[in-house]
Amino acid sequence: MSKDDLQSLRGEIDTIDQQIQRLINERAGCAKRVAEVKLASVDTSVEVPLFYRPEREAQVLRKVMERNEGPLDGKEVAHIFREIMSACLALEQPMEIAYLGPQGTFTQAAALKHFGHSVITRPFANIAEVFEAVERKTCHYGVVPVENSTEGMVTHTLDNFINSPLKICGELELPIALNLLVKSGGVDGGADTQITKICAHQQALAQSRHWLQQHYPKIEVQAVSSNGEAARMASEDTTIAAIAGDLAAEHYELSCLASNIQDYAENTTRFLVITHDEVEASGEDKTSIIVSTRNVPGALFKLLAPLEAEGISLTRIETRPSRTENWAYVFFMEFQGHHQDPAVKRVTDAIAEQSFFVKVLGSYPAAVI
């Protein structure tokens, strides 16, 4: 290829970039007009208009992936559109998102993946405080971990749903890549000889226990409140190493001593998005409910039978002890479909007949990216 050919291709790219930029700004202008229509249609002294619609965003992203012809992968293109929508939505209404902090946690990474980088993320010390921030409307939405592929359910999240008025409005999955991070040095820098303690959240320690036993069998391991907190500690003490993700390394300016130290390559955490408002059907949805049933033989079978009768797939079920009665249990159930669907409505009605407490936690779009 000659220099003239290369210059011509670069000129073509510049022209395409100008077209993309013009169209993005046209889209942003349209988003602002949408906001004006919404504001004009409600009495803002009584009602707050909904600018972010999870079902609409899920539909847009699915269409992006369906019509994608390459060479970029469909999910890569969807991530680009997510950021465009995030920036456009910020023009309508800057959103504040509560997450399990401090800064640099995987929950913050999940919040940015779901909402894009144009939102304001607010860290909170524990899951209960995330719920409380959304309940008090200090933040518009909250992001909380609910399940890890190797360590199971996050019980604190499930327990908070029992008495909370909040609804689930979205879900996402985040691959968990754990790194060993230090304040100075690197893989060849000899910094590991200074380490006297390795800190991380107890779940991250569990997810990398075999690697730690193999590489640092004599080093003290300490569980702390979060991986972000471990990263903060490492940023202030060269004798402490933290197990955390890329976001924590970037925020606290840490060096990576070892990457991908998790024991299982397919380590993934699932997160839920919580808010006050219910979500309309998107076409591919899930419904989550809480059920408390009588302690009688066949009780669980009777709860599951309506799902089989309607041909609805149960995607998850978890048991938690009841807080009101000894040796009684609460079931967290998740299945395909939206609670407005006739078949799902028949299922929840039938389950209600077999239990003394049923609460629909929400119907929400299945994770897209």
Mean pLDDT by 10 residues, the chain (369 residues): 83 96 95 86 68 94 96 96 95 91 92 96 95 96 93 89 95 96 63 84 92 95 92 94 95 94 91 96 97 83 94 93 75 96 96 90 96
Domain enclosing residue 317, as ranges: 280-365
Residues 317 and 244 in one domain: no
Q: Which of 200, 230, 265 is the last residue of a domain?
A: 265
**326 in any annotated domain:** yes
241, 206: one domain: yes
Q: How many domains is the chain partitioned into structurally?
A: 2
Residue 184 lies in a domain: yes
From its phi and psi, is residue 3 left (phi > 0), alpha (psi between -120 and 50) or beta?
alpha
| Domain match, 285 and 261 both | no
Q: Specify if 29 maps to a domain.
A: no
Chain centroid to CA 213: how far? 30
Q: What is this structure's pTM?
A: 0.90
Query: 234, 265, 296: which is the final residue of a domain?
Result: 265
Residues 215 and 254 in one domain: yes
Q: Which of 153, 155, 141, 101 is nearest to 124 (CA)?
A: 101
Domain's final residue, options 265, 300, 323? 265
216 in a structural domain: yes
Are 287 and 330 in the same domain? Answer: yes
Whether 344 is covered by a domain: the verdict is yes
Domain shared by 243 and 299, yes or no: no
Does residue 1 fall inside a structural domain? no
What pLDDT score was predicted for residue 35?
Answer: 85
351 part of a folded domain: yes
The answer to whether position 215 is within a domain reads yes
Amino acid at 164: S
210: domain CATH number is: 3.40.190.10
